[in-house]
Amino acid sequence: MSYHEPVLAEESTDGLNILADGIYVDVTYGGGGHSKKILQKLGKKGRLIAFDQDEEALANGIPDERLVLVNHNFRYLKKFLRYHGALPVDGILADLGVSSHQFDEAQRGFSIRFDADLDMRMNQKQKNTALDVLNTYTAEQLQKIFSEYGEVHNAKTAAQRIAGERKKQPIRTSGELREILAACMPKGAENQYLAKIFQALRIEVNDELAALKEMLMQCAEVLKPGGRLVVIAYHSLEDRLVKNFMRDGNFEGPAGSDLFGNKTSAAFRLISRKPVEAGEEEVQKNPRARSAKMRIAEKI
C-alpha cells in the first residue's frame, strides 16, 4: 500500500478540465497521488501549488520544478497563492479527510484499529490533541461535539460516562476509550459507533469544518471565471457544506447569507447535480473510496 491511495483520481483530475499552461492547486497533497495526475496533464509552462499541514507529507515531494509544496493548512489558501504569485488560478482540488498513511500509523491515533495514544493532530506542531479534548472539555462540550460532529445518537450518555471515568484516572488510549464507551455502543455496530466518536474528536482537534468553510470562501475569490472547483468529501457534514456552497454561495442552503450575515449569491455553476461516487472496482481495491462523494463546480 502506498502512502495514500488517491480516491477518484481520474474522475477528479478530469473534473478540473486542465489547461496545459494553467495554474492549479491541490489543497490536500498527502502522498501526492492527485498532484501526480495533475502534473501529467500540465504542459511545461503549467504550475501546481500544493498544500499539506502534515510535515510527513513533505517526504513525498515530487521532484518537478512546476510544483510548489506549501506546508500549511489550506485555510491560508489565498495568502500563499498571493505569496507565490499564483493568482488567479484555473482549478482547485480538495480530497478531504484523513490520508491512508495517517490511518495506518498507529501512533497518530486516527484509527479505531489500534490501541494507541489518542493524538489525532494533522499538524504535529499544534498543542491540542484528542487527549486534551477528552480530559479537559466539560461533559456539555463533549456532548456538543459528539452530537454535531459525530451525529452520535446518545451523545449525552457518552459524554457523561467519559466525564465520570476520567475522574478516576486520565484517559490515554483508544482502548481505554472503547472500554469506557462499551455500554453505550449498539450491539453489532460497535466499530461504527466508535468511528463516529473518533470523527467528532478529529474534527474538533483540527478545526476541520471551520477550515473547510474558510477555504471554500477563498476558492470563490482566487479562481478565474470558468475555473473548476473539485471537492471529495467522506462524511455528510463536509458534503453538505460543499453542496450548499457550490449551489447557493453559503453554507446553510437557500437562505443566502455568509458567515458574517452578508447577502450572498452563488459564485459557481454546478457541473453535475448529483455527486460522483467510486465504482465497485475501485472500492474493492481501496475501501476508503466507498464513502467518497465528489462534487464539481465552475466559477461563474
* Chain segment 64-94, per-residue pLDDT in tens: 999 999 999 999 999 999 999 999 999 999 9
Closest CA to 250 of 266, 234, 271: 266
Closest CA to 249 of 262, 268, 271: 268
Residue 1 scores a pLDDT above 50? no
Separation of alpha carbons 180 and 168, rounded Å:
12
Q: DSSP readout, the chain?
A: --S---TTHHHHHHHTT--TT-EEEES--TTSHHHHHHHHH--TT-EEEEE-S-GGGGGG----TTEEEE-S-GGGHHHHHHHTT--SEEEEEEE-S--HHHHH-GGG---TTS--B----SSTTSS--HHHHHHHS-HHHHHHHHHHHH--TTHHHHHHHHHHHTTTS---BHHHHHHHHGGGSPTT-HHHHHHHHHHHHHHHHHTHHHHHHHHHHHHHHHEEEEEEEEEEE-SHHHHHHHHHHHHHSSSSSTT-B-TTS-B----EEES-SSPB---HHHHHH-GGGGG-EEEEEEE-
Query: Of 11-20, 99-108, 211-220, which range is least confident?
Result: 99-108
Hey, what amino acid is at 184?
Answer: C
Q: Residue 57 — very low, low, confident or very high, per pLDDT cuts 50/70/90?
A: confident
The superfamily in CATH containing domain 9-101+208-299 is: Vaccinia Virus protein VP39 (3.40.50.150)
Cell reading at 140: 456539555
269-288 per-position pLDDT tens digit:
999 899 999 999 999 999 88
**Is residue 229 within 8 Å of 246, Cβ to Cβ?**
yes
In our burial notation (b when 16+ CB lie closer than 10 A, e otherwise), range 143-173 reads bbbbbebbebebbbebbbbbbebeeeeebee
Q: Residue 48 — very low, low, confident or very high, per pLDDT cuts 50/70/90?
A: very high
Instruction: For the chain, give the mean pLDDT.
Output: 91
**Is residue 42 within 8 Å of 18, Cβ to Cβ?**
yes
Separation of alpha carbons 59 and 101, rounded Å:
12
User: How confident is the model at residue 299, as a pLDDT?
Assistant: 98
92-107 per-position pLDDT tens digit:
999 997 654 444 454 4
User: How confident is the model at residue 109, as a pLDDT?
Assistant: 46
Query: Of 14-28, 114-128, 166-180, which range is least confident?
Result: 114-128
User: How confident is the model at residue 95, as a pLDDT?
Assistant: 96
| CATH pick for 107-206 out of 3.40.50.970, 2.60.40.60, 1.10.150.170, 1.20.120.530 | 1.10.150.170
Cell reading at 222: 482566487
User: How confident is the model at residue 108, as a pLDDT?
Assistant: 47
Model pTM above 0.85: yes
Q: Residue 111 — very low, low, confident or very high, per pLDDT cuts 50/70/90?
A: low
Where do the domains of the chain lie?
9-101+208-299, 107-206
Residues whose CB falls within 8 Å of the CB of residue 34, separated by 6 or more in sequence, listed in order: 6, 9, 12, 13, 26, 28, 93, 95
**Residue 226 CA: distances (Å) to CA of 19, 89, 264:** 11, 10, 19
Q: Do domains 9-101+208-299 and 107-206 have the same CATH topology?
A: no
